[in-house]
A and B are shown apart, each in its own frame.
Chain A
């Protein structure tokens, strides 16, 4: 394994862990951004340039900003006094550990069956574009529709509620 992979994995996992553990919500959101950036670099390590940049554009440029806006709009930047962890935190931790144990066991048990690295495939933007409007044109249209619906839906959900007359 190359040292770059170790560094990137450490950055990603550290960011994720900090996002889950930090008490201050804004810090957690920024830590999650570090994890997103680390993942983008991991994609670059995997020769997926387009997906890596799209990850930065969508996650850091849009999702992280949305999250911090939501935190400020819900006054989440003040740390609550009665703790940040749920009452049933032990159960959650056990479930997460169990899931990791199963996934890790599955990966380690199938080490022999896993394919080895071959020469890097050339996934140029041109090929991706041709695939998107060729073989994957229906999913592309559906995603377009989904994004439009989500935008309209999010605006309607978050719109100011009209004062309702008292019954």
Chain B
């Protein structure tokens, strides 16, 4: 069949393109050049994606708030990111007089580099992974942990109270939710049996009838995905967890004292972190590059991956347009007193799921435990709580 081979070629288009380009080089250089091309592709594609997302976000938010959004530059305002980019490049790079110049300079670089490194282990299509590491998930979280330090560097070196407060809030929030993020990923590792992200996708890439075996379609997977989504939102400092840069209190948080290109780097780093965490959520719970229904298998795998990432980014934007910002104490209480115990329980439920064997029994037992826990902790526990006026320990 002609169409089958066409779709196979489309699925492998990036490999064919790479092999064609590498073919111009001498044989000795080819492996290195292939890897280099992969790196260049990631470094080129995701910033482009970032530019698109900014304009979509502004237009989408505009629609949600009953206004038009940017519509002046180019058709429908789609060249707005180009204008913004030129503006960022030509602006003066102001460095505060009392700041710590070296650390102030290094902070955005560390952020962008560590975020980019996280993309190396994400499988973006069939066999499309830059470095298929045995401990890929651990590598991803290690790089995520390294970004926290860059936030501290930015906040501390600016020598500004807003920056420092923003950085402290950011780190406290990221550490609290990182625990949750890791634990919710552990349940996938328990079932998938590997830390390698491509193996986790392989484990989900099978169908019963037309329906896929994605982990989100299991009780523990659904609970894990919800928890993961909450933690990912907090980890990327997106609304409603955007306290580190709460404009109404902290100007712009840890990047208050950044301007011009360095600010653009921070902006880029935050969006890239959002893409990479969406990619991770897609890989862990939504079947990565596998098709949602078995007869859609012919569509190239990378289209599914990027489609799912786009979808989760839309949800991010939607949440930003819908939910109000939390307060710091609410945020911390939510992390440590509700989400973390729930995730620990979910680990236990995952183990039950693993050992109860096939059949309806494990569906009933696991769902019952999770729903009961959610109802008890979320509904009954919260009802007894009184949200009175806040007491200020230090300000009074």
Find residues 190-241 in chain B having any chain A CB closer than 8 Å to their own CB. Answer: 193-196
A contact set with B: CB distance below 8 Å: 26-27, 30, 33, 49-50, 53-54, 56-57, 60-62, 64-65, 68-69, 72, 77, 124-126
Q: Does B134 contact A (CB under 8 A)?
A: yes
Annotate B116-155 by CB proximity to A: 1 below 8 A, 0 otherwise: 0000000000000000011100110111111011001100
Q: Does B103 contact A (CB under 8 A)?
A: yes
Q: A49-B135, A65-B152 are contacts. A57–B145 as well, Cβ < 8 Å?
A: yes
Which residue of the partner chain, among A26, A33, A57, contacts B142 with CB atoms under 8 Å?
A57
Q: Does B342 contact A (CB under 8 A)?
A: no
17 extra interface residue pairs, beta carbon distance < 8 Å, beyond A26-B103, A64-B149, A72-B164: A27-B103, A30-B153, A50-B134, A53-B138, A54-B142, A56-B142, A56-B145, A57-B141, A60-B145, A61-B141, A61-B145, A61-B146, A61-B149, A65-B152, A65-B175, A69-B168, A125-B196
CB distance from A34 to the nearest CB of B (A): 11
B142–A68 contact, CB under 8 A?
no
B134–A49 contact, CB under 8 A?
yes
Which residue of the partner chain, among B138, B145, B156, contacts A26 with CB atoms under 8 Å?
B156
Q: Does B277 contact A (CB under 8 A)?
A: no
- A159→B149 CA distance, assembly (Å): 24
- A54→B138 CA distance, assembly (Å): 7
Interface residues on B, range: 20 to 34
Q: A-B pairs with CB below 8 Å: how many?
A: 66
> What A residues does B309 contact at CB under 8 A?
none
Closest A residue to B152 by beta carbon equals: A68
Q: Does B55 contact A (CB under 8 A)?
A: no
> What A residues does B171 contact at CB under 8 A?
65, 69
**6 shortest interchain CB distances as A-B pairs:** A61-B145, A56-B142, A53-B138, A57-B142, A53-B142, A125-B195
B156–A53 contact, CB under 8 A?
no
- A26→B144 CA distance, assembly (Å): 21
A125–B135 contact, CB under 8 A?
yes
Annotate B150-178 by CB proximity to A: 1 below 8 A, 0 otherwise: 00110010000000100010010001001
